[in-house]
Structure 1
Amino acid sequence: MIGLVLAAGAGRRLRPYTDTLPKALVPVGPEQDGEATTVLDIALKNFAEIGLTEVAVVVGYRKEAVYERQAALEAKYGLKITLVDNDKAEEWNNAYSLWCARDVLKKGVILANGDTVHPVSVEHSLLAARGDGRKIILALDTVKQLADEEMKVITDDGQGVQRITKLMDPAAATGEYIGVTLIEPEAAEELADALKTTFERDPDLYYEDGYQELVNRGFRIDVAPIGDVPWVEIDNHDDLAKGREIACLY
């Protein structure tokens, strides 16, 4: 199993930081060795802490900034990093971005969005939930008060995920998907096909819509509650301020 980070997005709501950097490289934490901590740093650190030795990073917008830091990040975290180019990062949404890593999925991955600041306990929760035929496991926050913007999930006891979308009544949701998933190698081909169907239907769709496509086909997707832990998805400047508070805890 290897780590996988989606770091191709432009993050336009975080300008001017993202005028020259992808969202995953916007500083969120204190400086270490003269470099400010980024969301990508946090993801890589988490992967290293759970014993992974290899990580793939999907890059697109301002990808040269990631290429420039690749060697330093490998040395810092003791990881072999492979960069996967997304040639449509500024045109299409992340269903296509995850599909670009379809060959990586065959190794089995822990996927982390490049804008999610979270503790390594999330990865531990996913690893602890492995087994019993589970092929895809979503990290789920069942504590947070939900609103319209969150990626909401409805689960059915014993049946896994029934629905995953932002477009639902928050009161109906079991919890929020936080942007971290464990994907076993056995799920790779079916997931890649579902993602392809999704972005071919509408290139502006999310990879979570690909998850819904899988569910609609009868594929079981499970969840792992992460407990009451501080995390944030960084979409705008308010989120960035919160991310900087949380990052200091790690």
Structure 2
Amino acid sequence: MIGLVLAAGAGRRLRPYTDTLPKALVPVDGDTTVLDLTLANFAEVGLTEAAIVVGYRKEAVYERRAALEAKYGIKLTLVDNDKAEEWNNAYSLWCARDVLGEGVILANGDTVHPVSVEHTLLAARGGDKRIILALDTVKSLADEEMKVVAEDGLGVRRITKLMDPATATGEYIGVTLIEPGAAADLADALKATFERDPDLYYEDGYQELVHRGFRIDVAPIGDVRWVEIDNHDDLAKGREIACLY
């Protein structure tokens, strides 16, 4: 199993930082970036390889690759997304379809979270589970969150931002464990998703899988501090949290 980071997005709401950097390389603790924190988590759970999907300002990631490899002891493969500034991340994850066959822990490039999340996902493996989503069942939800309805024995029934928060089981935090046996099904569902509408999220690809009868499981992460960094308010929260990890 290897790590996988989606770091192709432009992050326009974080300008001026993202005038020259992809969102994953915006500093959150001194010189430490979200990408640094994610790679440190991967290393702590024993991963020795990771792939990073790059697009917007990808040269900044290429320039830092050798230093990141040396710092975290992880061999990095960079996967180019040629439509990063045009299409949403269903296509971005599909670009890494060859990597999925190795089994991955997928992390969004804008999620600050503790390594306990990776430990939780790894501990949840087993049986016939093929995709496991890290789920926050503690946080109070609003309209912007990627909400999930899950049922015991059936797994995910719905995953979308477009639902009544009161009906949700919890929030998907942007970290998933994907077993090798799920790779082909997921890649096909992602392709169907972005071909239907290139502006859709990879979570819409997860919903496509559910519609096809594929079970996606969830693993509650407990009461931990994390944040998805979309704007400057989120960045301020990320800087409060990052120093803890």
Cα separation, 1, equivalents of 2:95 and 2:206: 16
Q: Using the aligned pairs only, state the percent identity.
A: 87
CA apart distance, 1:118? 0.1
- Once superposed, what is the RMSD of the aligned Cα atoms? 0.3
Equivalent residue letter for 1:85: D
2:84 paired residue number:
89
| CA deviation vs aligned residue, 1:178-220 (integer Å, no higher than 9, x gap) | 0000000000000000000000000000000000000000000
1:25 paired residue number:
25
2:8 paired residue number:
8
Cα separation, 2, equivalents of 1:156 and 1:245: 34
What SS class does the counterpart of residue 125 from structure 2 fall into? coil
Within a 5 Å distance, the mapping from 1:104-143 to structure 2 comes to 104-143=99-138
Equivalent residue letter for 1:194: A
| CA deviation vs aligned residue, 1:28-60 (integer Å, no higher than 9, x gap) | 013xxxxx0000000000000000000000000
Cα separation, 2, equivalents of 1:147 and 1:193: 31
| CA deviation vs aligned residue, 1:138-170 (integer Å, no higher than 9, x gap) | 000000000000000000111000000000000
Displacement over 4 Å in runs of 4+: none
How many residue pairs are counted as aligned between the two chains? 245
Cα separation, 2, equivalents of 1:220 and 1:172: 20
- The answer to whether 1:149 aligns with 2:149 is no
TM-score by length of 1: 0.98
Within a 5 Å distance, the mapping from 1:71-220 to structure 2 comes to 71-220=66-215
Equivalent residue letter for 2:16: P
CA apart distance, 1:132? 1.2
What SS class does the counterpart of residue 154 from structure 1 fall into? strand
- Listed as ranges, the gaps of 5+ residues in structure 2 are none
1:49 paired residue number:
44
What SS class does the counterpart of residue 205 from structure 1 fall into? coil
Cα separation, 2, equivalents of 1:124 and 1:235: 25
Cα separation, 2, equivalents of 1:22 and 1:9: 7
Cα separation, 1, equivalents of 2:123 and 2:214: 21
